[in-house]
Structure 1
Amino acid sequence: MFIGFDYGSANCAVGIMENEQFRLLPLSKNSHYLSSTLYALDRDLICEAVLHGLPTNEQAQYRQLRRTQLARAAHARRELDLRPDEPAVFVGEQAIEAYLDMPDEGFYVRSPKSFLGAIGLRQDQMSLFEDIVTLMMQYIKRQAESHLSEGQSITHAVIGRPVNFQGIGGEQSNQQAEAVLRIAAQRAGFHEVAFLFEPIAAGMDYEARLEDNKTVLVVDVGGGTTDCSVVKMGPAHSQYRERNDDFLGHSGQRVGGNDLDIALSMAAFMPHLGLGSLMNNQLPMPNQPFWNAVAVNDVSAQRDFSSLGARRLIESLITDAQQPELLARLLKVQQQQLGYQLVRSAESAKIALSEKESVTIDLSYISADVEAKVNDPLFENAIEMPLTRIEALMNEALTKAKVMPDVIYVTGGTARSPAIYRKISSLYPNVTIVVGDHFSSVTAGLTRWAHKVFAS
């Protein structure tokens, strides 16, 4: 059995072809999608969970690779007084629930795909990312197989990947990220995997509905990355297995929904924690600790914010602040690791603004009776910088292609924001804009490509 596998920054999805029709497989209790999150009571317990998910004949080699981490995992299980069979690592909504129950304990990762391809990683960090992705893929594969006929197993997958995993690092970063995904997929039990650019996958789903040939600019605004591809599409092109000549230009960068959420957190929430307030010497508060608090897709920022040095800095800012009660809220965020929860609140506001002009967000988990009012103008002003980067990516793809598109096909979970649509329509007022299925376009295209690659 082969699948299309969208290992996304915000959500994961799996699709199969059934009677020549695309079908999403459920990955969680009430949804076809699984939130790209993981929570562990201790980070070393992740490799222990990976080990238990491996076939027996592969465990010895993995034990040798992770002997140090597994020894620490055994110690952590004893320290936490956990039974040998007691769950200690959670994925998806279960991970979110566990984190919200215990935000100042454990190890929480949101959008692990956003970290893939980061430069300067130590070997232990690479091993950790391999294990995080492996564990998630093991879980997703089990969930997907539970909805197949008895005895069917998933053996082959086409996995989506952004044009560029990171803004810096170039092709070396892309190769590193793809290697992590390949290793994780093999350990999760996939016999063979192939990769396909996500915007091209999204475009293939759109192409299946085209009756005429078109030049299409596919803009895939995902949770962690935005990818743009200029592609020749239509009946004259879709029949071919090799499509390199149809792909006229690509661009991609790590800017997406996460960046919008972070920017909104800074603009809407951080003033309630002291951002923009003054110190006793009349100077404004430094921005960096506020940024580090919510920069959940930046490994170094998160490491800095969780350090003892950050705590001491905030304590000194409280001493020097004209409104120390505001900075005390930032200290609580640092002590209880509430940055992810703030960004999650911003994401909720962003989603709500897709249907209404303003929303009030409850921040009582930071301090009683604190709430933030968010409206369209505030949101659009907050996300001006990431939107400018998305505009640059569109221009870059079109410059490489040396053509203007007949259609702009916009997809990706973040693309449902009216602010994204308004930006694109203002840039290209004379081009038809088609908004695709925000969540399943990529998965559908990956699945169609898997059918072409593995079934023929």
Structure 2
Amino acid sequence: MKKLLYGIDFGTTNSALAIYDEETKEIQNTIIIPSLIYFYHQPNAAMGPNYVVGEDAITAYLNDNMKGRFIKSIKQVLSRSSFTETRIHNKKYNASDLVAIILKDLKDRADQLIGQDCRKAVIGRPVFFDDDDVKKDTLAQTRLNKAAEIAGFVDVRFQFEPIGAAFAYERSLLKKENVLVADLGGGTTDFTYLMLDPEKVGNKDRKNDMMASGGIYVGGDSFDSAFMWEKGTPYFGKNTQYEATPGKVLSMPKSLFANICSWEQMNFFNGLRIKKDIEDYYYFSGKDPQFKNLITLIENNLGYSVFQSIEKTKITLSKADTALFRYQKMNIKINEKIPLPDYEQIIAKDVDRIANYLDEFMVQNGIKPQDIDSLFLTGGTSMVNSIQKLFKKRFPHVSLNSGDNFKSVARGLAYSGYLFEG
């Protein structure tokens, strides 16, 4: 039986697993899947799983006419004490249970490739799950550890995700460098400043090489939420007015639309009272067609498909000066041209939060721009034009380096087997 371990990057948007051979010291394979779960509308009578994961979740969601429970960005609930459990088909699922579904799917796929049951893994975690909050961070770590156990892992270590990315980058270096690593994912942005040396690859003690680490709870999902608020919600009635009392015209409550800007807030609409309120708003608005779109969105569980369109717009704008924000389902029609400057203005507050945190991080850790020999950016959000501009402006003397934005962390985590020593 081969001596193998898995490096697992459980991400907000995508999750990856790298298979590492501890004897040959090589990555055998890397698997990547979207961090998605779909629970079928009708329970499986054959007693099999009532859910599917990854790309299959998207297919099943569409084939099931979007009537079941579609779950994304699960990582973001790990630190939230307010999330205790959700009930699906009369079965309770807590945060660890949901995360374990993703981890086990990755494990099963990898086990099938190697032909054995691998229970050893280095699992990544952000520097901070929810900004600098120790209680939330501890809760998230505990839940993630439990999820790994449920998924079938016995021997587990945890590594900061940006350190994993750094170890992947280190193997491409020719000389020793002081490197600032920025890991920009869907939920968080993490920074690590460390000394990398190709001669130290595989060394068991790297503690002294880690000079500083920190993170902030802002990522690609924050950008998508901001975009939904500015460009999406007007199509769902944000600017609609209603007249409950003759002559008294009011604007729709903003809370209704704040709650369609992220999937985890969609449960806000599950209660009978809020559903009745929405029907009343619709009636008193004179049955406004834009507000009708909100009812269609909620009743048909269309949230994910709308955010798919937002994601496509974001990706296009990382390469082009304009993009088309287009969505057409069940009489909801969006077809709006988005210039890059408009998009950059929409996400400016979140980009500024990242920039301000980066400045604080460097000051608090005594890091000067001239101390940095190279920058390594990873994570899907690192490709956003405003993020690229941020780093080029802060560090004009240093070139931006990047690896595979979706596999680098998992590979670097797999190279962190030294964590099992001692």
- What TM-score does the superposition give when structure 2 sets the normalisation length? 0.87
Q: 2:220 aligns with which of 257, 280, 303?
A: 257
Question: Residues of 2 paired with 1:116 and 1:81: CA distance?
Answer: 26
Q: 1:199 aligns with which of 136, 149, 162?
A: 162
Residue 71 of structure 2 is matched in structure 1 by 109
The gaps in structure 1 that reach 5 residues or longer are 26-31, 43-79
Q: 1:429 aligns with which of 382, 396, 404?
A: 396
Q: Choose between structure 1 and 2: higher strand proportion.
A: 2
1:409: how far off? Answer: 1.5
- Cα contact 1:408–1:431 (8 A) shared by 2: yes
Residue 66 of structure 1 is matched in structure 2 by none
- Cα contact 1:277–1:322 (8 A) shared by 2: no
Question: Residues of 1 paired with 2:403 and 2:95: CA distance?
Answer: 31
Matched, 1:118 2:84: no
1:130: how far off? Answer: 1.7
Instruction: Specify the SS of the correspondent of 1:251.
Output: strand
1:106: how far off? Answer: 2.2
- Cα contact 2:40–2:60 (8 A) shared by 1: no
Q: Choose between structure 1 and 2: higher helix proportion.
A: 1
Amino acid at match of 2:40: L
- Return structure 1 stretches of 4+ with deviation > 6 angstroms: 123-126
Question: Residues of 2 paired with 1:146 and 1:12: CA distance?
Answer: 18
Instruction: Specify the SS of the correspondent of 1:3.
Output: strand
Distance 1:108 1:155, change over 3 A: same
Question: Residues of 2 paired with 1:159 and 1:377: CA distance?
Answer: 38
1:265: how far off? Answer: 1.9
Distance 1:123 1:311, change over 3 A: closer
Amino acid at match of 1:412: G
1:314: how far off? Answer: 3.0
Distance 1:100 1:294, change over 3 A: farther
Question: Residues of 2 paired with 1:124 and 1:360: CA distance?
Answer: 36
Amino acid at match of 2:320: K
Instruction: Specify the SS of the correspondent of 2:319.
Output: coil
Matched, 1:96 2:62: no
Q: 2:100 aligns with which of 131, 134, 138?
A: 134
Matched, 1:394 2:354: no
Residue 36 of structure 1 is matched in structure 2 by 35
Query: Once superposed, what is the RMSD of the aligned Cα atoms?
Result: 2.6
1:425: how far off? Answer: 1.6
Matched, 1:2 2:5: yes
Matched, 1:408 2:375: yes
1:235: how far off? Answer: 4.0
Distance 1:314 1:134, change over 3 A: same
Instruction: Specify the SS of the correspondent of 2:352.
Output: helix
Residue 22 of structure 1 is matched in structure 2 by 27
1:197: how far off? Answer: 0.3
Residue 177 of structure 1 is matched in structure 2 by 140
Instruction: Specify the SS of the correspondent of 1:438.
Output: coil
Deviates more, 1:282-291 or 1:222-231: 282-291
- Cα contact 1:293–1:305 (8 A) shared by 2: no
Question: Residues of 2 paired with 1:282 and 1:426: CA distance?
Answer: 48
1:414: how far off? Answer: 1.5
Question: Residues of 2 paired with 1:124 and 1:333: CA distance?
Answer: 21
Deviates more, 1:246-255 or 1:269-278: 269-278
* Structure 1 residues 1-45: Cα deviation after superposition (integer angstroms, max 9, x where no partner): 2111111111111112354333433xxxxxx31110111136xxx
Deviates more, 1:7-16 or 1:301-310: 301-310
Residue 51 of structure 1 is matched in structure 2 by none
Question: Residues of 1 paired with 2:83 and 2:48: CA distance?
Answer: 31
- Cα contact 1:267–1:378 (8 A) shared by 2: no
- Cα contact 2:77–2:83 (8 A) shared by 1: no
Instruction: Specify the SS of the correspondent of 1:167.
Output: coil
- Cα contact 1:9–1:111 (8 A) shared by 2: yes
Instruction: Specify the SS of the correspondent of 1:147.
Output: helix
Residue 210 of structure 1 is matched in structure 2 by 173
Distance 1:371 1:323, change over 3 A: farther
Q: 2:45 aligns with which of 80, 83, 97?
A: 83
Distance 1:307 1:429, change over 3 A: farther
Residue 438 of structure 1 is matched in structure 2 by 405
Residue 28 of structure 1 is matched in structure 2 by none
* Structure 1 residues 175-228: Cα deviation after superposition (integer angstroms, max 9, x where no partner): 222222222222222120000000111111112222232222211001111111
Residue 306 of structure 1 is matched in structure 2 by 270
- Cα contact 2:326–2:334 (8 A) shared by 1: yes
* Structure 1 residues 399-422: Cα deviation after superposition (integer angstroms, max 9, x where no partner): 232112232221111112222211
Residue 327 of structure 1 is matched in structure 2 by 291
Amino acid at match of 2:13: A
Aligned residues: 406
Deviates more, 1:16-25 or 1:137-146: 16-25
Instruction: Specify the SS of the correspondent of 1:363.
Output: strand
The gaps in structure 2 that reach 5 residues or longer are none
Q: 1:165 aligns with which of 101, 106, 129?
A: 129
Instruction: Specify the SS of the correspondent of 2:12.
Output: coil
Question: Residues of 2 paired with 1:441 and 1:400: CA distance?
Answer: 28
Matched, 1:348 2:300: no
Question: Residues of 2 paired with 1:289 and 1:274: CA distance?
Answer: 10
- Cα contact 2:175–2:198 (8 A) shared by 1: yes
- What TM-score does the superposition give when structure 1 sets the normalisation length? 0.81
Distance 1:329 1:398, change over 3 A: same
- Cα contact 1:207–1:234 (8 A) shared by 2: yes
